[in-house]
Amino acid sequence: MESVFIALGALIAITIFGILAQRAPSFPFPIILVLGGLLVSLIPDAPQIRLDPAVFFILFLPPLLFADGWLMNLRDFKAARRPILLLSIGLVIFTTLAVGWIMHMLFSDLPMSVCFALGAVISPTDAVAVSAITERLKVPHRIVTILNGESLVNDASGLVAFKFAVAATLTGTFHLMDVGFSFLWLSAGGICIGLIVAFFIHKLRSKILTDPNSLHHITISLLTPFAAYIPADALGVSGVLSAVAAGLYGGWADPLSMSPQTRMRAWYVWEMFLFWFNGLVFFLLGMQLRAVLGNLRDTMSWSELIGYAALVGVVTIVARMVWVFPGAYLPRWISRKIRETEPPLPWQNVFIVSWAGMRGAVTLAAALSIPVLLPDGSAFPGRELVIFLAFGVILITLLFNGLSLPWLIRKLCIRDDGMLDVEEKNARILGARAALLSIEDAVAKMEVNDFYIRSILDEYRDRIHSLEGDEVLRQTAGARMERYRHLRKAAIRAERETAVQLYRDSIINDDVLRRIQNDIDFEEARLGK
């Protein structure tokens, strides 16, 4: 029963902190949750909740990665694959070596493999943290694509490096060729399983579920990330990349096969689902402070712990900057094709990419998964220190980098390039033209021209004029469309109030009210805000 109250308390807490985040838009939601969890963990009688790595990797990670993959634009991901791979593989290796070398300089009594384990565990950025912070920032779309793509892929490379560093500590042996082969096997195997699972689930839904509005579609979409992650993990390949690959496939296939009602319902369900899971992840992350400090307070002073954490955090941030700038410009200087095919690269954009290296719960969960004992029964060397330093890097990158990122974007005058708005405008124009031609063809065959037909034609002509006409036509069409929306919303509001009043007067029942409200809600959603 106590665990039920703790879970309910956590949901209440993330709701409260979510409301605070809305009132303080300059503070990203994940950071407020981490700070809230830190404060709660310092309350003397607060329950001590430990983040179980097994539960996190199976319960929380798959849906969060699947959702990020689903929302990732596959076309833009492919266009930015070179910088994404440079960051998700090259930077992971570079960070692992840099942090491992510094750790060995600081703690010469620790095995080199343990030092590299820390470097590997803090090398990948966190997909959930990065996407949650960048979604509020008005920056060029390519920056967001690179950051989100990096964070989706580098979990696999970081966890592979971490796995071999831990294995080297346990066995006392290390083979570089094994690392390279295993990375290729884990990555390729995970991607293949994710694509296969997503493909068969998509076919299953289209063949078996004949009702396009069935809630079973949404239920299956919620289960898909687990169907991709669990078998991949059981087969010893990357469950992370399997969930990401399934999300990428779903993001490409689902919008083309779902009915409008199912798409809207699925989006609402996933929004609530992700709010809970994101909130719980960051809140529980903040609550780990007391548990992480528990076994270190007697071995080191507060000043030593803070100093070591700050140093490792600085090395992590600097290593990213040292890698990102040459990685961004050297290929352009070497290859003429890159210069001609890729957009210009202002140094301000490169700096933002180098600064936005936030770590999150994946790093801590991996650190907590370090074995307690070696095969001979002795304690795993430096385990608690590695966990604390990993936790320190998470806090530093979230609080320092994450909080300063919006300020830096404003100071560097980085703005959204508007490419998505241009694409949307062009697509709307082409769609409206196609609709207009279709209606005109239908009218010609019907050989009628009454008021209702003329009003439909006028609506689409106004839509085209408001998007691409000259200034006078845009203003006239825009004003006419605004009056139309105002009148339709007033009419819809009257319909809704009448239906509610009929329900309250017991003239109609609940089912009739819901059906009427559903139609009214769709109509109002079509009109927009």
The two tokens of residue 344 are: 């210009």
Say what the pLDDT of residue 179 is.
65
Amino acid 122: pLDDT: 92
3-class secondary-structure state, position 528: coil
Contact 22, 270 (CB under 8 A): no
**Cα separation, 29 vs 52, whole angstroms:** 23
Burial of 330 (0-12, 13-18, 19+ CB in 10 A): exposed
Q: Are 285 and 50 contacting, i.e. CB atoms less than 8 angstroms apart? A: no
Tokens of 456: 């439909």
Give the separation between CA 21 and CA 2, rounded to whole angstroms: 28
For residue 130, what pLDDT is reported? 77
Burial zone of 510 (CB within 10 Å; 0-12 exposed, 13-18 middle, 19+ buried)? exposed
Burial (Cβ within 10 Å: 0-12, 13-18, ≥19) of residue 476: middle
Q: What angle do CA 285, 289, 294 make, to 5 degrees?
A: 135
Fill in the DSSP letter of residue 343.
P
- Kindly compute the dihedral angle of the four CA atoms of residues 41, 366, 383, 379, in this order, to the nearest 10 degrees: 120
Crossing angle (nearest 10°) for helices 112-121 and 92-106: 140
Strand partners, 462: none
Following CA atoms 425, 427, 429, 432 in sequence, which dihedral angle do they give, to the nearest 10 degrees?
Answer: -130
Among candidate residues 364, 375, 391, 269, the one with its CA nearest the CA of residue 56: 364
> By the 8 A CB rule, do 466 and 428 touch?
no
Residue 521 CA to residue 527 CA, distance in Å, equals 10
Please, is 446 exposed, middle or buried when counting C-beta atoms within 10 Å of its C-beta (0-12, 13-18, 19+)?
exposed
Query: What angle separates helix 260-286 from helix 215-234, to the nearest 10 degrees?
Result: 50
CA distances from 179 to 157, 161, 174, 261, 365 (A): 10, 7, 9, 47, 22
Neighbour count for residue 426 (Cβ, 10 Å): 12
Give whole-number Cα distances, 369 to 235, 366, 384, 410, 456, in Å.
19, 5, 11, 39, 62
Other CB atoms within 10 A of residue 443 CB: 16
Per-residue pLDDT in tens (0 to 9) along the chain, 529 residues:
666 777 787 788 888 887 877 776 667 777 788 888 888 877 777 777 777 788 888 888 899 889 888 888 777 888 888 999 999 999 999 999 999 999 988 888 888 888 999 999 999 998 777 777 777 677 888 888 899 889 888 887 888 888 888 887 877 665 656 666 777 888 889 999 999 999 999 888 777 766 656 677 888 889 999 999 999 999 988 888 899 899 988 888 876 666 667 777 787 888 888 888 888 888 888 877 777 776 666 677 778 888 999 999 999 999 999 999 999 999 888 888 888 887 788 899 999 999 988 888 888 888 888 888 788 778 888 888 888 899 899 989 988 988 888 888 888 888 877 777 777 777 777 777 787 787 777 777 766 667 677 777 777 777 787 777 667 777 777 777 777 777 777 778 888 888 888 888 888 777 777 778 777 777 777 776 5
Tell me how far apart the alpha carbons of residues 44 and 501 are, in angstroms, rounded to a whole number: 52
- Please give, one letter per residue, the 3-state secondary structure of 137-198: CCCCHHHHHHHHHHHHHHHHHHHHHHHHHHHHHHHCCCCHHHHHHHHHHHHHHHHHHHHHHH
Dig out the tokens for 404 from the structure.
Answer: 């300063």
Q: Which residues contact 179 (CB under 8 A, 6 or more apart)?
A: 160, 161, 164
What does the pLDDT read at residue 260? 64
